[in-house]
Structure 1
Amino acid sequence: MVLVIGVWGIIVRIQELSSNIWLGLVMSFLPLLMAQSVRAQEQQKEPTVITTIKRLSEIERPATNVSELFSQSSTPSSEVVQVTAVKANPTAKGVEVILQTTKGEQLQITNRSAGNSFIADIPNAQLRLPSGEAFTFRSEKPLAGVTEITVTNFDANTIRVTAIGEASSPTVELFDSDEGLIFGLTTAASIAQQQPQTQPTPQVEQPTNQTQPQQPPASSDEPIELVVTGEQDGYSVPDASTATKTDTPLRDIPQSIQVVPQQVLRDQQVTRLNDALRNVPGVITTLGTPGNSEGSSFTIRGFDSGTTLRNGLADPVGDRSLELSNIERVEVLKGPASALFGNGSPGGTVNLITKQPLATPYYAVEATVGSYSYYRGAVDLSGPLNDDKTGLYRLNVSYKDAGSFIDFAHDKNLLIAPVFSFAIGERTKLTLEGEYISADTNRLWLPAIGTVLPNQNGKIRRNLNISGPDRNDNYVHEDIGRIGYSLEHKFSDNWSLKNAFRAIFYHFETSALLPTSLDPDNRTLNRIFNQGQFDDEAYNLATDIIGKFSTGSIKHQLLFGFDLSRFSYESLFNNRNAAPINLFNPVYDRFLGESLGLQNNSSLTDALGIYIQDQISLSENLKLLLGVRFDAFKQTDGDLLANTESSQSGDAFSPRFGIVYQPLPPISLYASYSRSFTPVIGTSFDRSTFEPERATQYEVGVKADLNERISTTLAFYNLTRSNVLTEDPNYPGQDYSIQTGEQRSRGIEFNIGGEILPGLNVIAGYAYTDAKITEDETYTPGNYLNNVPKNSFNLWTKYEIQSGSLKGLGLGLGLFYVGDRQADLENSFELPSYFRTDAAIFYKQGQLRAQVNFRNLFDVDYFESARNILRVYPGEPFTVQGTISWEL
């Protein structure tokens, strides 16, 4: 009943804004003439497999050309055939593309060729891994005269095979084999390259685990390059959408971006965003205590990150009480991203990609128990809603009830996340998505003196709770509701439109005893009792038009879009004096005094952003990225007790450009320039409004695909944040500010991820970050930014036995190092470095998987971060969690 009432409340609130939303929808369809196509976002990637099969001439074929095969009669089948792999093999005259399936004779084919492109639709088939996940195949310049071959899921029950010719459509022969349906492609240019040779080139059978493709017989001055990419169920992800809002290979993006894929989340049993971000160099988690209501807190490249996206849309509460059971992967874009997403943190952007419906039925159940009374269960269900699979669903539900190593603390979390997708015709897809989270947590910290710093009375217990056992003395309750849609329409193979909307409702209430000061005896901690609540509402509407076209020999992928957003909140808080507590002999008596003051505030922010981006391919190995965005915003703040109100508006331009040069196909050298802005609300002494904070980044680096399964990035950057508020020196102590502050971060980042050897996967990175205050009236220039170590290192590696009686047994090892870092901007004290070791052992047999994870294996006593000298956050001690999962 509560859930129904909550959903009804969401509907009523949406109806109240219906006029504004419909206006946005009308605006979103005005630029249809500029529409362009974007690849559908993928889930998990399948390893590329390239083997040698029989030559076309050696196989008895039922048809010798496309026309004959299309003309053959076939009995329609309502069954959707699953194609479990796509392979590519060079031949003496061209290339073979194999759609691997045991039911090749059931495939129906429709010819949709046009212009220079061979296009074939297979309307009763889907690309699916054995695990049920979708994948995409792409081969760039597989032979002379063909620029690209793609095999994709066109809709819920159709595979589309496309071969784009340079001057004319390639010649295609199709036939069945024991492996599946085979497309044999040749062009006049490829045949010309294979003129009589003085000596035939011997054919070599490739092992099935070989990562390098077999090259065609050498007979021309230039060898034919065969590059194949596809979705993988592993540690390396070749594509991401966050950096460009298009599905672009990571090696073509002139900015550092890293993806934490589903397999890593599963192997580490990650349920919190902070734990996922440990795998990203340059990202430092600043809150490690499980069950702490402060949410997921982290810095990127030295700066606090408040920018969290969900499927590309801004999510102002994305780091609150996050449960990852419905998250497919985490994408992290380093550096400013205002050119696409508007105002945000200069350090980087975190984009959470949610799990999407599958056409093949998929059912998974998981149960976990662990240290400190940890219990968690999760269910993941997906499949079709109707026989023709035009309607799909996915439902993720999880519940956690856990204690903590800290006295009297608890952590409860319920998540319900349904998703529905509908294929409306051949070119339109509508996805409806919702989420509800209910969480109960605590506010947990300790003073620095007696933990990080020495105390003459001894050391404070790491598990001390300064509030007490009464739930009314320390609790946080949060409710988060999300509901929205995504509409994708393909006007053609080159132009598409995407329109998305999301509404977010957030309720927070708390009651906690907070520290105010420590007496000179360093035993007595003075406290206040803080009680209150606030409610947030956020609405986001975004429309993107993406298109591919050419101007002569130059190729373009153009993105044009705009977004509208509204964010509002209302808060009510009250503070009272409370009894102090003896840190070494605690007596939990709050003894409430008189109110210290009631606060009742509100805020409303409306924003509009318009952006354009062009990804330009000057040649096959030289690419440019140009983008610019204009933002306008208005914020109105109110004091509801004093019945006063103030408004402020502003605007900002945010450019970005970059260049990628590829001396060899697997190596990319890149350089980029980007800017960001963050609104600053308030006025100076002369009542002039503040300008937005700005950040400017210069970055150079190199990306390399060492093979089809492992990639690496090395980046160098210089990032400057300006217009930072600092005290007005002409009016010291009078709470007036000026924007002369400046902070600078520069550093080096390296990351590597993928499959090194069969069964051996790794995700690792190193970051050197030099983040300082360069100009300020309050803090000393040269001071280091707080919670930012100069050196940090992360490594997670997993090995799974591939054959024999122990097949399915695996081990995982994680090493995480964080160096010394300053605890505040005054640099008054330092948090010591720590080296944490994690481990895992798992065994999977068929649909069953058993796993045990060990965190902080050697029980290192460490501290994640600090807010000030009264608030430092202890890290998690040694914990064990065992998980049993079953999937079908």
Structure 2
Amino acid sequence: MSNQLQKLAWMTGLALVLVNFPVLAEDDQKLINNISQLNEIEKPVTNIQQWLAQSLIQVTGVKLQATDKGIDVILETNQSDQLQLTNQSQENSYIVDIPNAQLNLPDGDVFRQEQPMEGITEVTVTNLDASTIRVMVTGETGAPQVELFDGDEGLILAVTSTVTTTQTPQTQPTPVEPEQKPSSETQPEQPSAQGETPIELIVTGEQNRYRVPNTSAGTRTDTLIRDIPQTIQVVPEEVIRDQRVTRLRDALLNVGGVVQDGGFGGTVDQLGIRGFFGGGILVDGFKDGRGGIRETANVERIEVLKGPASVLYGGVEPGGVINLVTKQPLRDPYYNAEFSVGSFSTFRPSIDISGPINPDRTLLYRINSVYETSDGFRDFNQDIQRFFISPTLKWEIGQATNLTFQFDYLNDERPFDRGFLAFGDGILDIPLKRILGEPDDVSKVEEIGFSYRLEHDFNDNWKIRNAFRYLSSDTFDYRAEPVSFNETTGILSRNFRSNDDYGETYTLQTDVVGKFTIGSINHTLLFGIDLARNTSGGTQSRLPGGLTPSIDVFNPVYNAIPRPGLDELTDVVRNSQNRNDSLGIFLQDQIAFAENLKFLVGGRLDIVDQKSINFLNDSESSQYDTAITPRLGIVYQPIEPISLYASYSQSFQPNFGTSVDGSVLEPERGTQYEVGVKSEFFDGRLAATLAAYHITKSNIATTDPANPDFSIPIGKQRNQGIELNVAGQIQRGWNVIASYSYIDAEITESNDGLAGNRPPNVPFNTASLWTTYQLQSGDLRGLGFGLGLFYVGDRLGDTDNTYTIPSYLRTDAAIFYQRDNWRAGINIQNLLNEKYFQGANFGRVAIEPGAPLTVIGSFSVTF
């Protein structure tokens, strides 16, 4: 480099410091004040890289030292008092990022030690980027406890292994001020050794909270997503919070290929994955038979496993499953209160509190509760009233055993709203607020859930889990149901009717997980047994034909007659009870032939006993089925950030159609072939998956041509497509989650004349992008912005393909400010006030509209 270029580089570096100095935060200024004066520099630099290196704190050594509680990870530096740290927990790992520092070891820039102590699988110290050191301590079954000290030798991380550690809450960590007593999780009450003093922990924004590297949904074991030969996408709590969504369907707009199917008048979560609809929602790995809308207040993250999942969860659709992972008790006191107000008189306060009950921290609790009221954007007299509470208690019986009890209660009352009508090959153009039922149409849901989970570690490699869940659901609705629409006159005929239903589910799960090695091949073996009983039933009563007034959709008149009492609905068309008993036995082996070559092999036997009673004619039918569902997969990682995979899997789902002889049809079967690539970017901060799949579903019930009131199992559907999803951190403070999905779906066999048609509510294209950026320094540190784009393509509204639900692009935005222990924000959903439709409930007379421009203000405080 010439002398002129050397001088230019030196002057440019100096200018950067002078320009940025006035806007740096006070904490950052303290660091710069310690930089030597220019006349004290002994040797001039020769390039910008050398100048930057001189401004970084150098860590010249890393060593591990055993203690009576565990190990100390020592980062050797003589400037540890100037370090600023950010901590986070991701699944089993405790991570500390050290900005303005550089790892400079004699033998390289990476330190790694495997199995340094019992319960700790690995300690790594690396340069995350040119000016940030990352320390990662990974536990076998949970994130370890880590205390931070400033010692004579440098920065000390005192590590204590804990088999049953509970993760820190998935919210932005709270800054610890210089004179404030730190929390027990990050600081000890007394120095651990002579010469060691607690170090100041300064947190400057979220650290990669948009990427979740591990999941249990894909294997029922805690596994890296990159090692699973199937597409898995996770929506973490931070995305739910940043977008300020309260409905599961809105959170899943971030997941490609997941769209709404119906919604039963806006009262039920009916979602489809890869073009297949029905069920598929789990809570902590249990199939969830709720009759209403799921609550998100106690949800830590949403995991979406795409493709057949019967090998793990029994009878489910081949498109995949949605697993809601709930928040668990924390070892340290945590108190969060949040208050939201918004458009349409929306009012939603909530609390999330947790901590230990006894001094030994062997009894932990957590309580999540929320109340919501809203007028809604449609012109009903009936408002939304919703209350939810979920207390959880965890008992750490010993170092290797813990028992968790969880209870939840939901009471929900809201309008029953069938929505809009089809008109020609499109949708009727009427004002968004106009309803076509009656103003007092209502839906009521009451749900009670209880579960326990017992976990015991026999040793470091073998453990057993036993879990039980009970769920009861009572649902009721009363509405003026749309029947048929005369497009010439504009008259809609209706019928007053009411459903009164109940459901009870008992599920018992037992899993044994073991890790062992045969020769050089590592195995993770899973063996499990599932037992379940589901009982459901109820009635549908209608007002006799001709007594319900029709309505002019262009000039509606409501309450034309007094609303009939329930005892006047004398036409009972359904009074039945269904009971399903099921037993599932499964075996799975995750085989690592080498560090970069992994196989997944699994199979399941399901035995299902169905019984249905029709009380109207005192008839009874039953069906006894067995099904074997396999799954095979391979993952090859040519280089560490890349995973190439392929898989084959099957599914089954009990069939509720009946043949002319009264027997229940054979189960529906699904088969998928999938290939894909998973990759990591920016030193693992950003993860992406690209996949292609082909799914066929057979034995679908279709009308028996000779007996139209019955069915035969001849229907078949073929869906194929590609998907891309991305999530993580582009750089400090800049997070993103994005997806794209293309689905080519077709009914290939049918006796109803539907062969060649496209299934309803399945768009060819869906795409999403949500990104936030939070300022990391300066006087406005903590100020953040968010932008979201959610696209759903054209969908056909019915199986006859007579009309199209148009595509839409919804634009969302957010601005928020977080400082110390509080956060305030404003979220705008549907910023451009686009008129759009979520999906069709059925046929041409029940199309659910989306909400117009919605503004939500929120404030939360954490202690």
Asked if these proteins are the same fold (TM beyond 0.5), I'd say yes
Instruction: Please point out which of 519, 531, 537 is paired with 1:570.
Output: 537
Specify the SS of the correspondent of 2:361: coil
Specify the SS of the correspondent of 1:567: strand
Q: Give 1:683 deviation, angstroms.
A: 4.0
AA matched with 2:513: I
AA matched with 1:254: P
Residue 626 in structure 1 maps to residue 598 in structure 2: no
Inter-partner Cα distance in structure 2 for 1:560 and 1:589: 59
Q: Give 1:578 deviation, angstroms.
A: 1.1
Offset from partner CA, 1:346-376 (integer Å, 9 cap, x none): 1110000000111111111111111111100
Q: Give 1:70 deviation, angstroms.
A: 8.8
Instruction: Please point out which of 226, 236, 241 is paired with 1:251.
Output: 226
Inter-partner Cα distance in structure 1 for 2:540 and 2:493: 19
Inter-partner Cα distance in structure 2 for 1:346 and 1:140: 42
CA contact (8 A) 1:287 1:294 kept: no
Instruction: Please point out which of 685, 694, 703 is paired with 1:718.
Output: 694
Offset from partner CA, 1:823-875 (integer Å, 9 cap, x none): 01110111111111011111111111111111111111111111211111111
Match of 1:766 in 2: 740
Match of 1:468 in 2: 438
Match of 1:359 in 2: 331
Distance 1:660 1:606, change over 3 A: same
Inter-partner Cα distance in structure 1 for 2:630 and 2:104: 43
Specify the SS of the correspondent of 1:517: strand
Question: Structure 1: any 5+ residue segments left out of the alignment?
Answer: 1-49, 58-63, 73-81, 100-115, 123-135, 143-147, 161-173, 184-230
Relative to the length of structure 2, the TM-score reads 0.79
Structure 1 segment 159-178 matched on structure 2, within 5 A: 177-178=153-154
Residue 481 in structure 1 maps to residue 448 in structure 2: yes
Residue 610 in structure 1 maps to residue 582 in structure 2: no
Instruction: Please point out which of 495, 511, 526 is paired with 1:559.
Output: 526
CA contact (8 A) 1:384 1:390 kept: yes
Match of 2:180 in 1: none
Inter-partner Cα distance in structure 2 for 1:156 and 1:667: 25
AA matched with 2:398: G
Q: Give 1:525 deviation, angstroms.
A: 1.0
Match of 2:340 in 1: 368
Q: Give 1:413 deviation, angstroms.
A: 1.1
Residue 677 in structure 1 maps to residue 652 in structure 2: yes
Match of 1:865 in 2: 839
Structure 1 segment 54-69 matched on structure 2, within 5 A: 54-55=60-61, 66=66
Structure 1 segment 81-230 matched on structure 2, within 5 A: 86=95, 91-92=105-106, 118-119=116-117, 151-152=138-139, 177-181=153-157
Residue 851 in structure 1 maps to residue 820 in structure 2: no
Structure 1 segment 33-52 matched on structure 2, within 5 A: none
Question: Structure 2: any 5+ residue segments left out of the alignment?
Answer: 1-55, 73-85, 89-93, 98-102, 128-134, 160-205
Inter-partner Cα distance in structure 2 for 1:684 and 1:485: 40
Specify the SS of the correspondent of 2:221: coil
Inter-partner Cα distance in structure 2 for 1:67 and 1:574: 71
Specify the SS of the correspondent of 1:540: strand
Inter-partner Cα distance in structure 2 for 1:67 and 1:287: 59
Distance 1:141 1:428, change over 3 A: farther
Inter-partner Cα distance in structure 2 for 1:304 and 1:510: 23
Match of 1:834 in 2: 808
Inter-partner Cα distance in structure 2 for 1:692 and 1:371: 46
Specify the SS of the correspondent of 1:265: helix
Structure 1 segment 246-645 matched on structure 2, within 5 A: 246-286=221-261, 292-317=265-290, 320-408=292-380, 409-449=382-422, 453=426, 459-469=429-439, 471=440, 474-519=441-486, 521-576=488-543, 577-589=547-559, 591=561, 592=564, 595-645=570-620
Inter-partner Cα distance in structure 2 for 1:403 and 1:595: 32
CA contact (8 A) 2:240 2:251 kept: yes
CA contact (8 A) 1:277 1:285 kept: no
Inter-partner Cα distance in structure 2 for 1:177 and 1:501: 50
Inter-partner Cα distance in structure 2 for 1:156 and 1:704: 24
CA contact (8 A) 2:60 2:106 kept: no
CA contact (8 A) 1:539 1:567 kept: yes
Q: Give 1:234 deviation, angstroms.
A: 1.1
AA matched with 1:581: I
Inter-partner Cα distance in structure 2 for 1:855 and 1:383: 34
AA matched with 2:801: N
AA matched with 1:801: L
CA contact (8 A) 1:449 1:522 kept: no
CA contact (8 A) 2:725 2:738 kept: yes
Relative to the length of structure 1, the TM-score reads 0.76
Specify the SS of the correspondent of 1:604: strand
Q: Give 1:635 deviation, angstroms.
A: 1.2
- How many residues get paired? 720
Specify the SS of the correspondent of 2:455: strand
Distance 1:150 1:547, change over 3 A: farther
Inter-partner Cα distance in structure 2 for 1:237 and 1:799: 18
Inter-partner Cα distance in structure 2 for 1:831 and 1:68: 66
Q: Give 1:510 deviation, angstroms.
A: 1.2
CA contact (8 A) 1:175 1:182 kept: no
Specify the SS of the correspondent of 2:548: strand
CA contact (8 A) 1:445 1:874 kept: no
Q: Give 1:288 deviation, angstroms.
A: 8.0
Inter-partner Cα distance in structure 2 for 1:781 and 1:532: 33
| RMSD of equivalent CA atoms | 3.1
Residue 53 in structure 1 maps to residue 68 in structure 2: no
Offset from partner CA, 1:669-689 (integer Å, 9 cap, x none): 000001000111344335564
Inter-partner Cα distance in structure 1 for 2:640 and 2:279: 36
Inter-partner Cα distance in structure 2 for 1:450 and 1:555: 61
Inter-partner Cα distance in structure 1 for 2:628 and 2:421: 42
AA matched with 2:696: T
Q: Give 1:411 deviation, angstroms.
A: 1.6
Distance 1:555 1:717, change over 3 A: same
Q: Give 1:579 deviation, angstroms.
A: 1.1
Offset from partner CA, 1:507-537 (integer Å, 9 cap, x none): 1011111011123534211111112311110
AA matched with 1:453: G
Inter-partner Cα distance in structure 1 for 2:123 and 2:716: 46
Distance 1:864 1:93, change over 3 A: same
AA matched with 2:712: I
